[in-house]
C-alpha cells in the first residue's frame, strides 16, 4: 500500500508541477525555500568554490524550462565511500536518538539531523551578505504519504550502463591489502513542487558496477535509511537513483538559517547549498563529497 501511495503521489506531483506557477518571490530566510534563480545563484557559488561540483545540461528533451538550459542540475562524480554507515555509527559518530529532531510527529517518520550538529554547523557560516526578504509561503500541502522504505518495492534494478555517466570499470589486480572503495555520482536538482534542492545518488562498487538499492542503504544513516530515502528515476536520464525525499527540506533549512542568524552570521542565498550539503552529510555520513574546500567553511 505504501508503495502504491508513493507511486500515486509521484504522478500527482508531476502533474501539479506542470500547472503550478514557478516561485518568483524570495523566501529562503522566512520559509527555507528557493526560487529557481536563487537555486542557480547558490549553485554558481558551490561550483565556483568547490571545483568538483559542476553544472550539467542533461537531456535537452527533459530540460526544465524554469532553469537555464546549461544549468539543469549540479553533479560531482566518483565520490569515495570507504566505510559503511554501520561502521561509522559503531565508532560513535552517530548522534544519540534522543537528540534527533522529529519533523511533523512520530508517524511521519522524517528525522532531521541532531540539534547540536545543526547548531555547530550553522555557527561555521561566515562572509555572509544580507538576503532579500521573502513574504510568500512555502507549498501549503504537507506530504503525509512518504512510505517507510522497508515497505517499498525496492527492486535491484537492472541499470543500462550506457545511460549512466562514469569512468571505465577498474582493471586493477585484486590485492588483499587494498581497501575496496565504493564511489558515488551525486546530483542536486531543483524541485519545483517543494521549492528546494533535491539530492540524488547513484552508487558503484570497486569494479564500477552499479550498486543495488539494498547496498546503497548500507551507506545511509540508520535513522534515515528506512524513512526518508526513496528510489525514483533521475529526472534527466530515467536511471533509477536513490534520493532523499525533499518534503521536509524547507523546514530543516529554515531552522539551520535561524541558527546561523542567532550565532551572528546572516543567512545568505549564496551559502544555501553549502549549508544544505552539511545537512546531507548527517544523512549520508560515509560519502566524502566536497562542500568546504576553498569555500572558507
Q: Which residues are catalytic?
A: 247
Q: At 288, is the secondary structure helix, strand, or coil?
A: coil
CB 48 within 8 A of CB 273: no
Q: What is the CA radius of gyration of the chain?
A: 19
Exposure b/e, 51-79, CB count within 10 A at least 16 = b? ebbebeebeeeebbebbeeebbbbbbbeb
* CA dihedral (91, 92, 97, 100) positive or negative: negative
Cell of 106: 512520530
Question: In the chain, what is the greatest distance between 2 CA atoms, to the nearest angstrom?
Answer: 59
Q: Can you count the helices (H) and strands (E) in the chain?
A: 8, 8
Amino acid at each position: 500500500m505504501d508503495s502504491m501511495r508513493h507511486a500515486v503521489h509521484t504522478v500527482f506531483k508531476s502533474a501539479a508541477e506542470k500547472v503550478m506557477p514557478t516561485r518568483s518571490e524570495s523566501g529562503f530566510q522566512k520559509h527555507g525555500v528557493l526560487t529557481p534563480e536563487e537555486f542557480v545563484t547558490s549553485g554558481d557559488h558551490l561550483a565556483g568554490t568547490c571545483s568538483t561540483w559542476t553544472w550539467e545540461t542533461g537531456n535537452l528533451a527533459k530540460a526544465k524550462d524554469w532553469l537555464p538550459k546549461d544549468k539543469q542540475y549540479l553533479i560531482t562524480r566518483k565520490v569515495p565511500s570507504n566505510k559503511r554507515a554501520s561502521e561509522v555509527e559503531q565508532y560513535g559518530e552517530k548522534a544519540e536518538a534522543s537528540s534527533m529532531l522529529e519533523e511533523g510527529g512520530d508517524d511521519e517518520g522524517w528525522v532531521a539531523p541532531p540539534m547540536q550538529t545543526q547548531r555547530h554547523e550553522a555557527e561555521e557560516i561566515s562572509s555572509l551578505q544580507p538576503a532579500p526578504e521573502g513574504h510568500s509561503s512555502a507549498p501549503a500541502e504537507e506530504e503525509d504519504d512518504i512510505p517507510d522504505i522497508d515497505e517499498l518495492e525496492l527492486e535491484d534494478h537492472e541499470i543500462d550502463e550506457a545511460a549512466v555517466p562514469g569512468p571505465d570499470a577498474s582493471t586493477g589486480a585484486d590485492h588483499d591489502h587494498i581497501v575496496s572503495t565504493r564511489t558515488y555520482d551525486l546530483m542536486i536538482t531543483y524541485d519545483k513542487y517543494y521549492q528546494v534542492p533535491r539530492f540524488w545518488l547513484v552508487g558503484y562498487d570497486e569494479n564500477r558496477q552499479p550498486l543495488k538499492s539494498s547496498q546503497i542503504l548500507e551507506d545511509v544513516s540508520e535513522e534515515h535509511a528506512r524513512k526518508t530515502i526513496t528510489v525514483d528515476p533521475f529526472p534527466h536520464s530515467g536511471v533509477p537513483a536513490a534520493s532523499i525525499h525533499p518534503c521536509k527540506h524547507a523546514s530543516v533549512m529554515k531552522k539551520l538559517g535561524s541558527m546561523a542568524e542567532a550565532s551572528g552570521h546572516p543567512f545568505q542565498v549564496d551559502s544555501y547549498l553549502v549549508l544544505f550539503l552539511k545537512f546531507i552529510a548527517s544523512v549520508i555520513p560515509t560519502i566524502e563529497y566536497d562542500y568546504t574546500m576553498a569555500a572558507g567553511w
